[in-house]
Structure formats: C-alpha cells, structure tokens
C-alpha cells in the first residue's frame, strides 16, 4: 500500500472499464462505480451511472447480483444462493440521509 506521502505526491488517473476488463458483457451502470485498476500506480477505473460499458463475464455477474449494473448483452453463469450470499456479504452502505443541509 502506498505511504501517505506517496498518495500526496501522485494524483489518481482514471480509465474506462474497457481498459481494465475483457469486454465480454455489455452493461449499463445503475450508479457511479469506481475501483482500483492498479493501486500501486494510482490508476482507477470508473463508469458513471446510466453509462454503457463492457465487463468480463465474471465481474458482470457479480455486479449484477450486487445491483450495480444491468446486463444488456452477453451471457453470465447463474448464481447459487450460497454464492449470492457470499457476493452480497462484501457490501457496505453509508446512508447520508440528506444531512448536508447547509
């Protein structure tokens, strides 16, 4: 993991999902999605809510279960109940509730 000093010195570069994942499944994002493409090099992937992109089938399958994307074209393997529970166990939600009223 980069040191705090390194984080301070190196800005993050954002790339499209197609630069990171094999383009096997066409999806539409249902929220703004962000993830590390290469944490050491400070590169992240990003796809905005409502935008269309291409993911590899395993990532698309997991994101579909989590409700992050709608699959538009392409096939993904079915998900068992146990696997679904395992996938969903990795999610945390911070609910802000409009507290930013100023």
Of 23 and 39, which CB lies nearer to another protein in the complex structure?
Answer: 39
Rounded to a whole number of angstroms, the minimum distance from the CB of residue 55 to another protein is 11
Residues lying near another protein in the complex (CB under 8 A): 1, 4-5, 7-8, 11-12, 14, 31-36, 39, 44, 46, 48-50, 66, 68, 89-102
Start-to-end CA span in the chain (Å): 36
Identify whether the C-beta of residue 47 lies closer than 8 Å to the C-beta of residue 54.
no
Of 78 and 102, which CB lies nearer to another protein in the complex structure?
Answer: 102
- CA dihedral of residues 54, 59, 60, 64 (deg, nearest 10): -140
Rounded to a whole number of angstroms, the minimum distance from the CB of residue 54 to another protein is 16
């Amino acid at each position: 993991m980069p040191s705090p000093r390194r984080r301070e010195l190196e800005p993050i570069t954002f790339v499209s999902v197609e630069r990171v994942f094999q383009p096997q499944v066409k999806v539409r994002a249902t929220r703004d999605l962000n993830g590390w493409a290469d944490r050491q090099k400070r590169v992240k992937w990003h796809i905005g809510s409502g935008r269309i992109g291409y993911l590899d089938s395993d990532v698309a399958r997991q994101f579909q279960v989590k409700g992050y994307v709608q699959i538009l074209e392409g096939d993904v393997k079915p998900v068992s109940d146990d696997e679904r529970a395992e996938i969903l166990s990795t999610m945390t939600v911070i609910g802000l509730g409009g507290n930013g009223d100023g």
